[in-house]
Amino acid sequence: MLNTIIDYLIDSYDNYSDKAAIVYNNNSMTYKMLYDATLNIAGWINCHIKVTRQPIIVMMKNSDKAIAAFLGIALSRNIYVPLDIDTPIERLKTIIDILQPAYVINCECDVDLQIPGCPIVSWNTIQAANMNSVGLERLNQIIDTDPLYILFTSGSTGTPKGVVISHRSVIDFTEEASEAMKFDSKEVFLNQAPFYFDASVPDIFCTLRNGATLHIVSGNMFAFPVKLMDYISINKINALFWVPSALVMVANLKALDKRDISCLKKIMFCGEVMPTKQLNMWRKVLPHAIFVNYYGPCEATYACSYYIIEREFLDDEPLPIGKAAQNMSIMLISNGKEIQQIGVKGEIYIRGTGVGIGYYNNFEKTSENFIQNPLQNVYPEIVYKTGDLAHYDKDGNIIYDGRLDYQIKHRGYRIELGEIENCVGAVEQVAQTACIYNKDKDMIVCYYSGDILEDAILNLISNKLPEYMIPQKLIRMKNMPLNNNGKIDRLKLKEVNEV
């Protein structure tokens, strides 16, 4: 039985020692090199930190060295915390105050935090110490419920929340994904998401589990989709775990038909709603590829359900998020009762081994979202309350209906902003769209990018939406603002509305 994600590294080292594990900047780090670097980092930590299960921050760009740092920290029985090297200093101070980390491991830049009790050590310094002889010292002490990583998400109060995920949660997700997608050592992944975002979790651990290869490219390459397609073609990339915004960008910029990317066989996405129109563009170019819609918040270890797309969808037809993954269960609950009927909306509650431990150093927020299962009260059972709405279709698949906080009451009607976004997004010339509700003015504002005027959109959607759902204002954007995770930044859109 697997007890730790380090078991993945050891197995791949034993079986694929000289194979490229990670390709970064056209240089390959073999599984032997990754194994040795991991042991050096773990050995150094073992000699400097006697208390285990301490958070250790990794402030590096996506790279082979960053992954080695994550694994070394895990092997030392501590918790890795990836942070953006460009994190604003005030946010960084807030996170450090929450974590009280043992160390910050740094590589590309020298971060002068000027915070007492927060020592910084470089990756090169650790490797030069050559302490791999004590790297495996704590391996047998790791238990599968030990925390593996902490990822910070935004908080409704303005204070970031650190989601704590265990080895067991990541192992169960990785095993399920690998078996369902039939991953093996021939997989060649291309990383898209920054490591401080949970969309990178399958990139790292599905690679390690299967003795596969992970390519890491500069984030700047995503600004040049044709070059990105060149890279995919030349390097025979055959599997992607990307956020929908990245797939949408490539489709909208007409890069799909510029190069032969028939090497792509498995395209998986998660993190936000995938517009069906752009999905159809991808499927047209890659008719024999497998496309998979994953669903899950960071608090549920990347994903807790998935839907393998096996039929045609209309451009304005929502994609199912499928059914629960192995060792996971999804409940739709409304008014304290579980919903079974087709078409009736309920809030998504998640139970199973993928549910995270909670928020680091924030018991109050943890108790709000990680709660006792409301459907049974005879023994303790923690479930995650997502704030997402969904319903069942006739095939028993779950259809995502948006956020509870995207549900508004306008002119006496309850409205899902996601339904409006879906309708506007299906217009042929619209590239991306997002709706905001201005409560003070009782106004639905729809932002979009694309080569079409506002009046034309209104004419096209007026026959598809009731009058009370028609946006009172449409704002055309040259490009939709994206946050660091690649999702549409709705806070910045609100600022546009205020100007």
| More confident position, 176 or 413 | 176
User: Does the pLDDT at position 1 exceed 80?
Assistant: no
Give 469's pLDDT tier (boundaries 50, 70, 90).
confident
What is residue 468's predicted lDDT score, i.e. its pLDDT?
78
* pLDDT of the residue at 499: 39
In percent, the amount of the chain with pLDDT more than 70 equals 96
Q: Give how far the C-alpha of residue 389 lies from the chain's centroid of Cα atoms, to the nearest Å.
A: 19
Supply the pLDDT for residue 351.
98
Look up residue 140 and give its two tokens. Answer: 């047998």
The answer to whether residues 45 and 78 touch, using CB atoms and an 8 Å cutoff, is yes
SS3 173: helix
Stretch 261-288: mean pLDDT: 95
Strand partners, 20: 30
Name residues whose C-beta falls within 8 Å of residue 438's C-beta, 6 or more positions apart in sequence: 444, 445, 497
Task: Write down the residue that tokens 């506002």 correspond to.
Answer: 454
Residue 114: pLDDT band (50, 70, 90) is low
- Give the model's pLDDT for residue 138: 94
| Contact by Cβ (8 Å): 189, 213 | yes
| pLDDT for residue 293 | 98
- The pLDDT tens digits of the residues spanning 94-107 come to 899 999 999 999 97
Among the listed residues 136, 131, 152, the one whose alpha carbon sits nearest the alpha carbon of residue 195: 152
Structure confidence by residue, pLDDT tens digits, 117-142: 688 999 999 999 999 889 899 999 99
pLDDT tier at 110 (50, 70, 90 boundaries)? very low
Query: With pLDDT > 90 as the criterion, what percentage of the chain qualifies?
Result: 76
Residue-wise pLDDT for 376-431, tens only, equals 999 999 999 999 999 999 999 999 998 887 778 787 676 878 889 988 999 999 99
Does residue 245 register a pLDDT over 80?
yes
pLDDT band at 496 (very low <50, low <70, confident <90, very high): confident
Dist. CA 362–CA 46, nearest whole Å = 27
- Token reading at 80: 């890795």
User: What's the confidence (pLDDT) of residue 154?
Assistant: 67
Write the CA distances from 306 to 40, 282, 319, integer angstroms.
37, 18, 11
What's the rounded Cα separation, in Å, for the pair 135 and 450? 53
State yes or no: pLDDT of 308 exceeds 50: yes
Cβ-count burial 131-162 (b if 16+ within 10 Å, e if not): bbebbbbbbeebebebbbbbbbbeeeeeebbb
DSSP 112-169: ----TT--EEEHHHHHHH--GGGTTTTGGG--TTSEEEEEEE--TTSS-EEEEEEHHH
Q: Positive or negative, the Cα torsion across 178, 8, 200, 347?
A: positive
pLDDT digits (tens, 9 = 90+) for 337-384: 999 999 999 999 999 999 999 999 999 999 999 999 999 999 999 999
Helix axes 417-425, 454-461, angle to 10 degrees: 110
Indicate if the pLDDT at residue 78 is higher than 70.
yes
Least confident span in 101-110, 136-145, 194-203:
101-110
Mean pLDDT of the chain: 92
Q: In which band, very low, low, confident or very high, does the pLDDT at 495 lie, cut at 50, 70 and 90?
A: confident
pLDDT at 117: 64
Q: Is the pLDDT of residue 494 over 90?
A: no
Nearest to 219 by CA among 201, 242, 239, 248: 242
Bridging pattern class, strands 147-153 and 161-166? antiparallel
Helix (H) or strand (E) holding 431: strand 430-438
Topology given in CATH for the domain delimited by 6-308 = Rossmann fold (3.40.50)
Q: Which CATH number fits domain 411-498: 1.20.140.10, 3.30.300.30, 1.10.10.10, 3.40.50.300?
A: 3.30.300.30
Q: Are 194 and 203 in contact (CB under 8 A)?
A: no
> Residue 12: what pLDDT?
98
Fold: same for 6-308 and 411-498? no
pTM: 0.88
Question: Distance between alpha carbon 432 and the CA centroid of its chain, in Å?
Answer: 20
Q: Is 405 helix (H, G, I), strand (E, B) or coil?
A: helix
Angle in degrees, 0-180, between the axes of helices 225-234 and 244-252, rounded to the nearest 10 = 110
Specify the DSSP class assigned to residue 342.
B
> What are the boundaries of each domain within the chain?
6-308, 411-498
Distance from C-alpha of 272 to C-alpha of 490, rounded to nearest angstrom: 13
